[in-house]
């Protein structure tokens, strides 16, 4: 099996011995993203801005793989303070639409660099399936979302 790392220049460099994302086949594993700006490597100010930047970093990784947030099937949100849950949700919700990815939210004792939020994700590249399913030879017999508008 071949693992393919993804580290676009538009996200901050990893702050440890890990890949920002690693793909194998159609699976994309995105390491926890902090609300850090690529230009400075510094955390954004406040949990709302950190959440938005963490999501933008995730989007950049997905885009580097030719994907977007529709391909995310699971996220884990790590919070330094569970009281930030609603604020994080308000920002997080602007990046997804139904059906939303599965998600866990966990309060932790501390996050790297004193961050308030960290978000990791798992995505699946379904583009090949989407092409097949939208073709006349589609074998799903109308059981998938590509037939909802018919």
Bridge partners of 106? Answer: 78
Of residues 150 and 21, more confidence is placed in: 21
Structural domain count, the chain = 1
pLDDT tens-digit readout, 76-107: 999 999 999 999 999 999 999 999 999 999 99
| pTM: predicted TM-score of the whole model, two decimal places | 0.85
What is the residue whose two structure tokens read 């074998």? 139
Round to whole Å and give the CA distance between 57 and 80. 19
Residue 111 maps to which CATH number? 3.30.1330.40
Average pLDDT over the chain, rounded to whole? 89
Question: Looking at residues 1-8, what average pLDDT do you find?
Answer: 82
What tokens were used for 56? 């933008």
Round to whole Å and give the CA distance between 43 and 58. 15
First to last CA, the chain: 39
CA distances for 133 relative to 23, 60, 139, 147, angstroms? 23, 27, 7, 9
Question: Looking at residues 116-135, what average pLDDT do you find?
Answer: 81
pLDDT at 135 over 60: no
Evaluate whether 75 touches 121 at the Cβ level (below 8 Å).
yes
pLDDT tens-digit readout, 44-78: 999 999 999 999 999 999 999 999 999 999 999 99
What's 141's DSSP letter? Answer: T
- Structural domain span for residue 16: 4-147
Evaluate whether 6 touches 23 at the Cβ level (below 8 Å).
yes
pLDDT at 140 over 70: no
């Amino acid at each position: 099996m071949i693992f393919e790392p993804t580290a676009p220049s538009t996200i901050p460099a990893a702050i440890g011995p890990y890949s920002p994302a690693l793909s194998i086949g159609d699976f994309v594993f995105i390491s926890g993203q902090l609300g850090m700006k690529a230009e400075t490597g510094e955390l954004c100010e406040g949990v709302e801005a950190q959440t938005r930047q963490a999501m933008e970093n995730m989007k950049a990784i997905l885009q580097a793989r030719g994907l977007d947030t529709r391909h995310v099937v699971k996220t884990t949100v790590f919070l330094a303070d569970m009281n930030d849950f609603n604020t994080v949700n308000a920002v997080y919700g602007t990046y997804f639409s139904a059906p939303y990815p599965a998600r866990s939210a966990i309060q932790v004792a501390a996050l790297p660099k004193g961050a308030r939020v960290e978000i990791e994700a798992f995505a699946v590249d379904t583009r090949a399936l989407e092409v097949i399913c939208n073709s006349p030879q589609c074998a799903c017999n109308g059981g998938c979302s590509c037939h909802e508008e018919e």
